[in-house]
Structure 1
Amino acid sequence: MRLMQAFLIALSMYSKIPVPRAEWNEKNMKYAMCFFPVVGVVTGGCVYLAGFFLLRFTSCGSVFLGAALTLVPILISGGIHLDGFMDTTDALSSYGDREKKLSILKDPHTGAFAILGIGCYLLWSVAVYSEVKIEMLPSLSCMFVLSRALSGFSVVTFPAAKDSGLLRTFQDKAQKKNVRIVMLLWAAAALLLLIWLDGKTGGMAALCAGGTFLYYGWMSKKKFGGITGDLAGYFLSLCEVCMATGIVLAGGGI
Protein backbone atom coordinates (compact mmCIF):
# COMPACT_ATOMS: atom_id res chain seq x y z
CA MET A 1 0.00 0.00 0.00
CA ARG A 2 2.83 2.40 0.89
CA LEU A 3 4.60 1.66 -2.40
CA MET A 4 1.37 2.31 -4.27
CA GLN A 5 1.11 5.69 -2.54
CA ALA A 6 4.72 6.42 -3.51
CA PHE A 7 3.92 5.44 -7.09
CA LEU A 8 0.92 7.80 -7.19
CA ILE A 9 2.97 10.65 -5.71
CA ALA A 10 5.60 10.26 -8.45
CA LEU A 11 3.02 10.22 -11.23
CA SER A 12 1.03 13.14 -9.86
CA MET A 13 4.16 15.23 -9.33
CA TYR A 14 6.00 14.58 -12.57
CA SER A 15 3.21 14.03 -15.07
CA LYS A 16 -0.27 15.07 -16.05
CA ILE A 17 -1.46 11.46 -15.97
CA PRO A 18 -4.74 11.33 -13.99
CA VAL A 19 -4.20 9.27 -10.83
CA PRO A 20 -6.09 8.85 -7.54
CA ARG A 21 -5.16 11.30 -4.83
CA ALA A 22 -2.20 10.21 -2.69
CA GLU A 23 -1.21 11.18 0.83
CA TRP A 24 1.93 13.33 0.85
CA ASN A 25 3.53 12.26 4.10
CA GLU A 26 7.03 11.23 5.14
CA LYS A 27 6.41 7.48 4.93
CA ASN A 28 4.87 7.62 1.47
CA MET A 29 7.56 9.93 0.08
CA LYS A 30 10.46 7.66 1.08
CA TYR A 31 10.34 5.74 -2.17
CA ALA A 32 8.43 8.14 -4.45
CA MET A 33 11.56 8.93 -6.46
CA CYS A 34 11.96 5.22 -7.28
CA PHE A 35 8.94 5.51 -9.56
CA PHE A 36 10.09 8.65 -11.39
CA PRO A 37 11.43 6.58 -14.35
CA VAL A 38 7.97 5.03 -14.73
CA VAL A 39 6.91 8.39 -16.15
CA GLY A 40 9.70 7.87 -18.66
CA VAL A 41 8.30 4.46 -19.58
CA VAL A 42 4.91 6.02 -20.28
CA THR A 43 6.47 8.93 -22.18
CA GLY A 44 8.66 6.65 -24.25
CA GLY A 45 5.72 4.39 -25.04
CA CYS A 46 3.61 7.32 -26.21
CA VAL A 47 6.44 8.72 -28.33
CA TYR A 48 6.92 5.29 -29.92
CA LEU A 49 3.21 4.89 -30.68
CA ALA A 50 2.89 8.42 -32.05
CA GLY A 51 5.97 8.06 -34.22
CA PHE A 52 5.02 4.59 -35.44
CA PHE A 53 1.51 5.72 -36.36
CA LEU A 54 2.68 8.84 -38.21
CA LEU A 55 5.49 7.10 -40.08
CA ARG A 56 3.63 3.89 -40.93
CA PHE A 57 0.04 4.98 -41.50
CA THR A 58 0.19 8.61 -42.64
CA SER A 59 2.00 10.64 -45.26
CA CYS A 60 2.76 13.54 -42.92
CA GLY A 61 5.76 15.71 -43.62
CA SER A 62 8.93 15.81 -41.57
CA VAL A 63 8.05 19.10 -39.87
CA PHE A 64 4.72 17.70 -38.68
CA LEU A 65 6.49 14.60 -37.37
CA GLY A 66 9.09 16.70 -35.58
CA ALA A 67 6.49 18.93 -33.98
CA ALA A 68 4.37 15.97 -32.87
CA LEU A 69 7.27 14.08 -31.27
CA THR A 70 8.41 17.28 -29.55
CA LEU A 71 4.95 17.92 -28.10
CA VAL A 72 4.18 14.42 -26.78
CA PRO A 73 6.68 14.51 -23.85
CA ILE A 74 5.65 18.08 -22.99
CA LEU A 75 1.97 17.14 -22.85
CA ILE A 76 2.68 14.15 -20.60
CA SER A 77 4.97 16.03 -18.19
CA GLY A 78 2.93 19.22 -18.24
CA GLY A 79 6.12 21.14 -19.02
CA ILE A 80 7.46 20.87 -15.46
CA HIS A 81 11.00 20.08 -16.62
CA LEU A 82 11.04 22.79 -19.29
CA ASP A 83 10.04 25.28 -16.62
CA GLY A 84 13.27 24.37 -14.84
CA PHE A 85 15.16 24.62 -18.13
CA MET A 86 13.91 28.16 -18.67
CA ASP A 87 14.64 29.32 -15.12
CA THR A 88 18.13 27.83 -15.19
CA THR A 89 18.89 29.35 -18.60
CA ASP A 90 17.91 32.74 -17.19
CA ALA A 91 20.09 32.25 -14.12
CA LEU A 92 23.13 31.06 -16.06
CA SER A 93 22.83 34.00 -18.46
CA SER A 94 22.88 36.53 -15.62
CA TYR A 95 26.58 35.99 -14.85
CA GLY A 96 25.80 37.04 -11.28
CA ASP A 97 27.11 35.42 -8.13
CA ARG A 98 25.63 32.30 -6.53
CA GLU A 99 23.00 34.16 -4.52
CA LYS A 100 21.94 36.19 -7.56
CA LYS A 101 21.51 33.03 -9.63
CA LEU A 102 19.48 31.33 -6.89
CA SER A 103 17.24 34.38 -6.56
CA ILE A 104 16.58 34.28 -10.32
CA LEU A 105 15.49 30.65 -10.00
CA LYS A 106 12.85 31.75 -7.47
CA ASP A 107 11.71 34.75 -9.52
CA PRO A 108 8.25 34.05 -11.03
CA HIS A 109 8.92 36.40 -13.95
CA THR A 110 10.24 35.07 -17.24
CA GLY A 111 13.38 36.74 -18.54
CA ALA A 112 14.51 37.35 -22.10
CA PHE A 113 17.16 34.64 -21.95
CA ALA A 114 14.57 32.09 -20.84
CA ILE A 115 12.46 32.90 -23.91
CA LEU A 116 15.47 32.69 -26.20
CA GLY A 117 16.58 29.46 -24.56
CA ILE A 118 13.24 27.68 -24.84
CA GLY A 119 12.83 28.92 -28.41
CA CYS A 120 16.18 27.43 -29.40
CA TYR A 121 15.43 24.23 -27.48
CA LEU A 122 12.08 23.66 -29.16
CA LEU A 123 13.41 24.60 -32.60
CA TRP A 124 16.29 22.15 -32.25
CA SER A 125 13.96 19.44 -30.93
CA VAL A 126 11.64 19.78 -33.92
CA ALA A 127 14.65 19.71 -36.27
CA VAL A 128 16.04 16.54 -34.67
CA TYR A 129 12.73 14.67 -34.40
CA SER A 130 11.85 15.58 -37.99
CA GLU A 131 14.74 13.34 -39.09
CA VAL A 132 13.61 10.30 -37.10
CA LYS A 133 13.21 7.02 -38.97
CA ILE A 134 10.90 4.26 -37.80
CA GLU A 135 13.81 2.00 -36.76
CA MET A 136 15.05 4.70 -34.35
CA LEU A 137 11.84 4.80 -32.32
CA PRO A 138 12.71 2.01 -29.84
CA SER A 139 15.99 3.72 -28.93
CA LEU A 140 14.30 7.10 -28.61
CA SER A 141 11.73 5.56 -26.28
CA CYS A 142 14.43 4.25 -23.91
CA MET A 143 16.08 7.63 -23.48
CA PHE A 144 13.14 9.00 -21.47
CA VAL A 145 13.75 6.33 -18.84
CA LEU A 146 17.50 6.93 -18.73
CA SER A 147 17.17 10.71 -18.35
CA ARG A 148 14.80 10.32 -15.40
CA ALA A 149 16.93 7.64 -13.77
CA LEU A 150 19.97 9.94 -13.91
CA SER A 151 17.96 12.93 -12.73
CA GLY A 152 16.53 10.92 -9.83
CA PHE A 153 20.00 9.64 -8.95
CA SER A 154 21.27 13.22 -8.77
CA VAL A 155 18.44 14.22 -6.42
CA VAL A 156 19.54 11.68 -3.80
CA THR A 157 23.29 12.05 -4.43
CA PHE A 158 24.21 15.67 -5.19
CA PRO A 159 24.06 18.31 -2.43
CA ALA A 160 21.12 20.70 -2.44
CA ALA A 161 21.81 24.36 -3.17
CA LYS A 162 19.07 25.51 -0.78
CA ASP A 163 17.66 24.45 2.57
CA SER A 164 14.11 24.72 1.23
CA GLY A 165 12.13 23.84 -1.88
CA LEU A 166 10.47 20.75 -3.29
CA LEU A 167 13.74 19.03 -4.20
CA ARG A 168 15.02 19.46 -0.65
CA THR A 169 11.75 17.99 0.62
CA PHE A 170 12.23 14.89 -1.56
CA GLN A 171 15.87 14.65 -0.45
CA ASP A 172 15.04 14.86 3.23
CA LYS A 173 12.23 12.33 3.10
CA ALA A 174 13.75 9.85 0.64
CA GLN A 175 15.38 6.60 1.72
CA LYS A 176 18.51 7.76 -0.11
CA LYS A 177 20.58 4.58 -0.21
CA ASN A 178 17.74 2.41 -1.50
CA VAL A 179 16.54 5.05 -3.96
CA ARG A 180 20.09 5.45 -5.27
CA ILE A 181 20.32 1.69 -5.93
CA VAL A 182 16.95 1.65 -7.69
CA MET A 183 17.95 4.61 -9.89
CA LEU A 184 21.16 2.84 -10.88
CA LEU A 185 19.17 -0.29 -11.77
CA TRP A 186 16.78 1.77 -13.90
CA ALA A 187 19.73 3.45 -15.64
CA ALA A 188 21.53 0.15 -16.22
CA ALA A 189 18.38 -1.44 -17.65
CA ALA A 190 17.82 1.48 -20.01
CA LEU A 191 21.46 1.48 -21.14
CA LEU A 192 21.53 -2.27 -21.74
CA LEU A 193 18.31 -2.09 -23.73
CA LEU A 194 19.64 0.84 -25.79
CA ILE A 195 22.80 -1.07 -26.68
CA TRP A 196 20.91 -4.33 -27.30
CA LEU A 197 18.53 -2.56 -29.69
CA ASP A 198 21.35 -0.94 -31.66
CA GLY A 199 24.94 -0.83 -30.49
CA LYS A 200 25.80 2.24 -32.55
CA THR A 201 22.88 4.46 -31.58
CA GLY A 202 22.82 3.06 -28.05
CA GLY A 203 26.48 3.81 -27.55
CA MET A 204 26.02 7.34 -28.85
CA ALA A 205 23.04 7.89 -26.55
CA ALA A 206 25.09 6.63 -23.59
CA LEU A 207 27.95 9.01 -24.43
CA CYS A 208 25.56 11.95 -24.75
CA ALA A 209 23.83 11.09 -21.46
CA GLY A 210 27.13 10.62 -19.64
CA GLY A 211 28.58 13.86 -20.98
CA THR A 212 25.48 15.82 -20.07
CA PHE A 213 25.42 14.31 -16.57
CA LEU A 214 29.06 15.25 -15.96
CA TYR A 215 28.41 18.80 -17.15
CA TYR A 216 25.34 19.01 -14.92
CA GLY A 217 27.30 17.90 -11.85
CA TRP A 218 30.13 20.35 -12.54
CA MET A 219 27.88 23.28 -13.44
CA SER A 220 25.49 22.88 -10.51
CA LYS A 221 28.32 22.79 -7.98
CA LYS A 222 30.36 25.61 -9.52
CA LYS A 223 27.52 28.00 -10.40
CA PHE A 224 24.92 27.25 -7.72
CA GLY A 225 26.67 25.37 -4.93
CA GLY A 226 24.39 22.36 -5.43
CA ILE A 227 21.23 21.34 -7.23
CA THR A 228 17.63 22.52 -7.12
CA GLY A 229 14.46 21.22 -8.72
CA ASP A 230 14.96 23.68 -11.58
CA LEU A 231 18.47 22.41 -12.20
CA ALA A 232 17.26 18.80 -12.22
CA GLY A 233 14.64 19.77 -14.81
CA TYR A 234 17.28 21.62 -16.84
CA PHE A 235 19.48 18.53 -16.88
CA LEU A 236 16.63 16.21 -17.84
CA SER A 237 15.57 18.43 -20.74
CA LEU A 238 19.13 18.92 -21.97
CA CYS A 239 19.94 15.22 -21.60
CA GLU A 240 16.95 14.17 -23.70
CA VAL A 241 17.61 16.55 -26.58
CA CYS A 242 21.31 15.59 -26.60
CA MET A 243 20.49 11.87 -26.62
CA ALA A 244 17.91 12.36 -29.38
CA THR A 245 20.51 14.24 -31.43
CA GLY A 246 23.05 11.47 -30.90
CA ILE A 247 20.59 8.73 -31.84
CA VAL A 248 19.53 10.51 -35.03
CA LEU A 249 23.12 11.28 -36.05
CA ALA A 250 24.31 7.74 -35.32
CA GLY A 251 21.29 6.29 -37.07
CA GLY A 252 21.99 8.22 -40.25
CA GLY A 253 18.91 10.40 -39.97
CA ILE A 254 20.80 13.58 -40.86
Structure 2
Amino acid sequence: MRLIRSLLIAFSTYSRIPVPQVEWTEENRRYSMCFFPLVGLVTGLLLWGWLALCDHFEIDLFLRGAVAALLPLVITGGIHMDGFMDTVDALASWQPAEKRLEILKDSHTGAFAVMACAGYLLLSAALYSELFASAGPSLICVFILSRALSAWALAVMKGAREQGMLDDFSRVTRIRMVSVSGGIYALICLCVWILTGGWLALLCAAAAAVCVLGYRRMAYRQFGGVTGDLAGWFLQVTELALIAVIVIGGRLL
Protein backbone atom coordinates (compact mmCIF):
# COMPACT_ATOMS: atom_id res chain seq x y z
CA MET A 1 0.00 0.00 0.00
CA ARG A 2 2.90 2.37 0.69
CA LEU A 3 4.07 2.07 -2.93
CA ILE A 4 0.56 2.68 -4.24
CA ARG A 5 0.25 5.80 -2.09
CA SER A 6 3.60 7.04 -3.39
CA LEU A 7 2.41 6.40 -6.95
CA LEU A 8 -0.77 8.40 -6.34
CA ILE A 9 1.22 11.28 -4.84
CA ALA A 10 3.54 11.33 -7.87
CA PHE A 11 0.57 11.65 -10.24
CA SER A 12 -1.28 14.19 -8.10
CA THR A 13 1.86 16.34 -7.80
CA TYR A 14 3.21 16.22 -11.33
CA SER A 15 0.07 15.84 -13.41
CA ARG A 16 -3.55 16.89 -13.64
CA ILE A 17 -4.69 13.31 -14.11
CA PRO A 18 -7.46 12.63 -11.56
CA VAL A 19 -6.32 10.11 -8.95
CA PRO A 20 -7.53 9.24 -5.43
CA GLN A 21 -6.09 11.62 -2.84
CA VAL A 22 -3.92 10.27 -0.03
CA GLU A 23 -2.38 11.90 3.02
CA TRP A 24 0.93 13.65 2.34
CA THR A 25 2.99 12.05 5.07
CA GLU A 26 6.73 11.46 4.79
CA GLU A 27 6.12 7.73 4.64
CA ASN A 28 3.64 8.04 1.79
CA ARG A 29 5.92 10.37 -0.17
CA ARG A 30 9.06 8.33 0.32
CA TYR A 31 9.02 6.62 -3.08
CA SER A 32 6.97 9.14 -5.05
CA MET A 33 9.92 10.25 -7.21
CA CYS A 34 10.53 6.66 -8.23
CA PHE A 35 7.12 6.77 -9.92
CA PHE A 36 7.59 10.23 -11.42
CA PRO A 37 8.67 8.81 -14.82
CA LEU A 38 5.35 6.97 -15.08
CA VAL A 39 3.71 10.37 -15.56
CA GLY A 40 5.94 10.61 -18.63
CA LEU A 41 4.77 7.16 -19.73
CA VAL A 42 1.14 8.32 -19.70
CA THR A 43 2.08 11.56 -21.49
CA GLY A 44 3.93 9.65 -24.18
CA LEU A 45 1.09 7.17 -24.65
CA LEU A 46 -1.42 9.98 -25.12
CA LEU A 47 0.86 11.70 -27.62
CA TRP A 48 1.27 8.42 -29.47
CA GLY A 49 -2.49 8.10 -29.60
CA TRP A 50 -2.81 11.63 -30.98
CA LEU A 51 -0.22 10.95 -33.70
CA ALA A 52 -2.01 7.72 -34.60
CA LEU A 53 -5.28 9.64 -34.85
CA CYS A 54 -3.61 12.22 -37.09
CA ASP A 55 -2.23 9.47 -39.34
CA HIS A 56 -5.58 7.72 -39.60
CA PHE A 57 -7.62 10.81 -40.44
CA GLU A 58 -4.80 12.56 -42.34
CA ILE A 59 -4.96 15.61 -40.07
CA ASP A 60 -3.01 18.63 -41.26
CA LEU A 61 0.57 18.87 -40.04
CA PHE A 62 0.03 22.28 -38.46
CA LEU A 63 -2.78 21.00 -36.24
CA ARG A 64 -0.81 17.82 -35.53
CA GLY A 65 2.13 19.81 -34.19
CA ALA A 66 0.10 22.42 -32.31
CA VAL A 67 -1.98 19.91 -30.35
CA ALA A 68 1.06 17.72 -29.66
CA ALA A 69 2.96 20.70 -28.25
CA LEU A 70 0.10 21.66 -25.95
CA LEU A 71 -0.84 18.16 -24.82
CA PRO A 72 2.03 17.77 -22.29
CA LEU A 73 1.08 21.12 -20.75
CA VAL A 74 -2.51 19.98 -20.34
CA ILE A 75 -1.43 16.71 -18.73
CA THR A 76 1.11 18.24 -16.34
CA GLY A 77 -0.70 21.50 -15.66
CA GLY A 78 2.42 23.34 -16.83
CA ILE A 79 4.35 22.66 -13.62
CA HIS A 80 7.61 22.02 -15.48
CA MET A 81 7.11 24.87 -17.93
CA ASP A 82 6.64 27.16 -14.95
CA GLY A 83 10.10 26.18 -13.70
CA PHE A 84 11.51 26.63 -17.19
CA MET A 85 10.12 30.15 -17.42
CA ASP A 86 11.28 31.14 -13.93
CA THR A 87 14.77 29.88 -14.73
CA VAL A 88 14.92 31.80 -17.99
CA ASP A 89 13.94 34.99 -16.17
CA ALA A 90 16.61 34.40 -13.54
CA LEU A 91 19.32 33.68 -16.10
CA ALA A 92 18.36 36.71 -18.17
CA SER A 93 18.77 39.00 -15.18
CA TRP A 94 22.57 38.65 -15.17
CA GLN A 95 22.48 39.07 -11.38
CA PRO A 96 24.55 37.28 -8.70
CA ALA A 97 23.42 33.80 -7.65
CA GLU A 98 21.58 35.09 -4.55
CA LYS A 99 19.50 37.49 -6.65
CA ARG A 100 18.79 34.79 -9.22
CA LEU A 101 17.42 32.55 -6.47
CA GLU A 102 15.12 35.36 -5.38
CA ILE A 103 13.87 35.75 -8.96
CA LEU A 104 13.05 32.04 -9.04
CA LYS A 105 10.67 32.58 -6.12
CA ASP A 106 9.08 35.68 -7.67
CA SER A 107 5.54 34.94 -8.84
CA HIS A 108 5.72 37.58 -11.57
CA THR A 109 6.52 36.57 -15.16
CA GLY A 110 9.08 38.57 -17.08
CA ALA A 111 9.32 39.30 -20.79
CA PHE A 112 12.20 36.86 -21.29
CA ALA A 113 10.13 34.03 -19.79
CA VAL A 114 7.21 34.77 -22.11
CA MET A 115 9.46 34.87 -25.16
CA ALA A 116 11.20 31.65 -24.15
CA CYS A 117 7.89 29.86 -23.60
CA ALA A 118 6.54 31.03 -26.96
CA GLY A 119 9.73 29.98 -28.70
CA TYR A 120 9.73 26.61 -26.95
CA LEU A 121 6.14 25.84 -27.96
CA LEU A 122 6.72 27.02 -31.52
CA LEU A 123 9.82 24.86 -31.94
CA SER A 124 8.27 21.82 -30.29
CA ALA A 125 5.15 22.15 -32.47
CA ALA A 126 7.36 22.25 -35.57
CA LEU A 127 9.22 19.12 -34.44
CA TYR A 128 6.02 17.24 -33.58
CA SER A 129 4.61 18.06 -37.01
CA GLU A 130 7.43 15.97 -38.47
CA LEU A 131 6.56 12.89 -36.40
CA PHE A 132 4.15 10.09 -37.20
CA ALA A 133 2.68 7.29 -35.12
CA SER A 134 5.64 5.05 -35.97
CA ALA A 135 7.76 7.26 -33.71
CA GLY A 136 5.45 6.61 -30.75
CA PRO A 137 7.69 4.18 -28.79
CA SER A 138 10.72 6.47 -29.15
CA LEU A 139 8.62 9.45 -28.09
CA ILE A 140 7.36 7.68 -24.97
CA CYS A 141 10.96 7.09 -23.89
CA VAL A 142 11.67 10.82 -24.19
CA PHE A 143 9.11 11.63 -21.53
CA ILE A 144 10.11 8.75 -19.30
CA LEU A 145 13.85 9.45 -19.43
CA SER A 146 13.54 13.22 -18.95
CA ARG A 147 11.68 12.64 -15.68
CA ALA A 148 13.99 9.85 -14.55
CA LEU A 149 17.02 12.08 -15.09
CA SER A 150 15.33 15.05 -13.42
CA ALA A 151 14.53 12.99 -10.31
CA TRP A 152 18.02 11.50 -10.25
CA ALA A 153 19.65 14.93 -10.54
CA LEU A 154 17.56 16.24 -7.64
CA ALA A 155 18.66 13.25 -5.60
CA VAL A 156 22.41 13.41 -6.19
CA MET A 157 23.25 17.03 -7.02
CA LYS A 158 23.89 19.77 -4.49
CA GLY A 159 20.91 21.92 -3.58
CA ALA A 160 21.09 25.68 -4.02
CA ARG A 161 19.07 26.37 -0.87
CA GLU A 162 19.35 24.94 2.62
CA GLN A 163 15.58 25.00 2.92
CA GLY A 164 13.35 24.44 -0.06
CA MET A 165 11.85 21.80 -2.30
CA LEU A 166 15.16 19.97 -2.71
CA ASP A 167 15.86 19.91 1.02
CA ASP A 168 12.38 18.55 1.65
CA PHE A 169 12.83 16.04 -1.15
CA SER A 170 16.11 14.73 0.27
CA ARG A 171 14.60 14.41 3.73
CA VAL A 172 11.72 12.16 2.72
CA THR A 173 13.14 10.29 -0.29
CA ARG A 174 15.31 7.21 -0.38
CA ILE A 175 18.01 8.54 -2.69
CA ARG A 176 19.38 5.09 -3.47
CA MET A 177 15.97 3.94 -4.67
CA VAL A 178 15.63 6.98 -6.93
CA SER A 179 19.05 6.25 -8.44
CA VAL A 180 18.30 2.56 -8.96
CA SER A 181 14.86 3.17 -10.44
CA GLY A 182 16.29 5.92 -12.65
CA GLY A 183 18.92 3.52 -13.96
CA ILE A 184 16.23 0.94 -14.75
CA TYR A 185 14.12 3.50 -16.59
CA ALA A 186 17.18 4.66 -18.55
CA LEU A 187 18.10 1.09 -19.52
CA ILE A 188 14.56 0.37 -20.71
CA CYS A 189 14.53 3.55 -22.80
CA LEU A 190 17.90 2.71 -24.34
CA CYS A 191 16.69 -0.78 -25.27
CA VAL A 192 13.54 0.63 -26.88
CA TRP A 193 15.57 3.16 -28.85
CA ILE A 194 17.92 0.42 -30.03
CA LEU A 195 15.03 -1.78 -31.16
CA THR A 196 13.17 1.03 -32.91
CA GLY A 197 15.96 3.28 -34.15
CA GLY A 198 19.22 1.35 -34.18
CA TRP A 199 22.10 3.80 -34.17
CA LEU A 200 19.70 6.58 -33.26
CA ALA A 201 19.86 5.22 -29.71
CA LEU A 202 23.47 6.36 -29.43
CA LEU A 203 22.53 9.89 -30.47
CA CYS A 204 19.69 9.96 -27.93
CA ALA A 205 21.97 8.69 -25.17
CA ALA A 206 24.64 11.24 -26.09
CA ALA A 207 22.08 14.08 -26.15
CA ALA A 208 20.77 13.05 -22.72
CA ALA A 209 24.31 12.97 -21.31
CA VAL A 210 25.05 16.43 -22.72
CA CYS A 211 21.86 17.77 -21.16
CA VAL A 212 22.79 16.36 -17.74
CA LEU A 213 26.32 17.77 -17.85
CA GLY A 214 25.12 21.12 -19.15
CA TYR A 215 22.45 21.26 -16.46
CA ARG A 216 24.93 20.58 -13.67
CA ARG A 217 27.38 23.16 -14.99
CA MET A 218 24.69 25.83 -15.39
CA ALA A 219 23.05 25.14 -12.02
CA TYR A 220 26.29 25.14 -10.05
CA ARG A 221 27.81 28.19 -11.76
CA GLN A 222 24.70 30.35 -11.97
CA PHE A 223 22.77 29.31 -8.85
CA GLY A 224 25.18 27.43 -6.60
CA GLY A 225 23.17 24.21 -6.96
CA VAL A 226 19.89 22.80 -8.16
CA THR A 227 16.32 23.73 -7.22
CA GLY A 228 12.83 22.56 -8.12
CA ASP A 229 12.49 25.29 -10.74
CA LEU A 230 15.81 24.36 -12.30
CA ALA A 231 14.64 20.74 -12.40
CA GLY A 232 11.65 21.88 -14.47
CA TRP A 233 13.96 23.79 -16.81
CA PHE A 234 16.15 20.72 -17.20
CA LEU A 235 13.18 18.46 -17.93
CA GLN A 236 11.82 20.77 -20.62
CA VAL A 237 15.22 21.24 -22.27
CA THR A 238 15.94 17.51 -22.24
CA GLU A 239 12.59 16.70 -23.82
CA LEU A 240 13.07 19.25 -26.58
CA ALA A 241 16.64 18.08 -27.26
CA LEU A 242 15.67 14.41 -27.47
CA ILE A 243 12.68 15.09 -29.72
CA ALA A 244 14.95 17.12 -32.00
CA VAL A 245 17.43 14.23 -32.12
CA ILE A 246 14.65 11.77 -33.02
CA VAL A 247 13.34 14.03 -35.79
CA ILE A 248 16.67 15.13 -37.27
CA GLY A 249 18.51 11.88 -36.58
CA GLY A 250 15.68 9.93 -38.15
CA ARG A 251 16.22 11.89 -41.36
CA LEU A 252 19.99 11.40 -41.39
CA LEU A 253 20.28 7.72 -40.44
Q: How many residues align?
A: 252
> What aligned pairs does 1:1-254 form with structure 2 within 5 A after superposition?
1-55=1-55, 57-252=56-251
Gaps of 5+ in 1: none
> Measured at CA, do residues 30 and 198 of structure 1 come closer, stay the same or move farther in structure 2, by a change above 3 Å?
same
1:20 to partner: Cα distance: 0.7
1:201 to partner: Cα distance: 2.9
1:111 to partner: Cα distance: 0.5
Q: Which amino acid aligns with 2:154?
A: V
Identity over aligned pairs, percent: 43
1:165 to partner: Cα distance: 2.4
Q: Which amino acid aligns with 2:15?
A: S
Q: Which amino acid aligns with 1:122?
A: L
Quick check: 2:49–2:133 contact (8 Å CA) kept in 1?
Answer: no
Quick check: 1:128–1:244 contact (8 Å CA) kept in 2?
Answer: yes
TM-score by length of 2: 0.96
1:190 to partner: Cα distance: 1.2
Moved more, 199-208 or 27-36: 199-208
Quick check: 1:156–1:180 contact (8 Å CA) kept in 2?
Answer: yes
What is the distance in 1 between the residues matched to 2:184 and 2:217? Answer: 23
Write out per-residue CA displacement over residues 192-223 of structure 1, whole angstroms, 9 at most, x where no aligned residue.
21122111332222222111111001111111
Quick check: 1:139–1:202 contact (8 Å CA) kept in 2?
Answer: no
Quick check: 2:137–2:192 contact (8 Å CA) kept in 1?
Answer: no
TM-score by length of 1: 0.96
Q: Which amino acid aligns with 1:5?
A: R
What is the distance in 2 between the residues matched to 1:198 and 1:92? Answer: 36
What is the distance in 1 between the residues matched to 2:215 and 2:160? Answer: 13
What is the distance in 1 between the residues matched to 2:42 and 2:201? Answer: 20
What is the distance in 1 between the residues matched to 2:22 and 2:189? Answer: 28
* SS, match of residue 164 in structure 1: coil
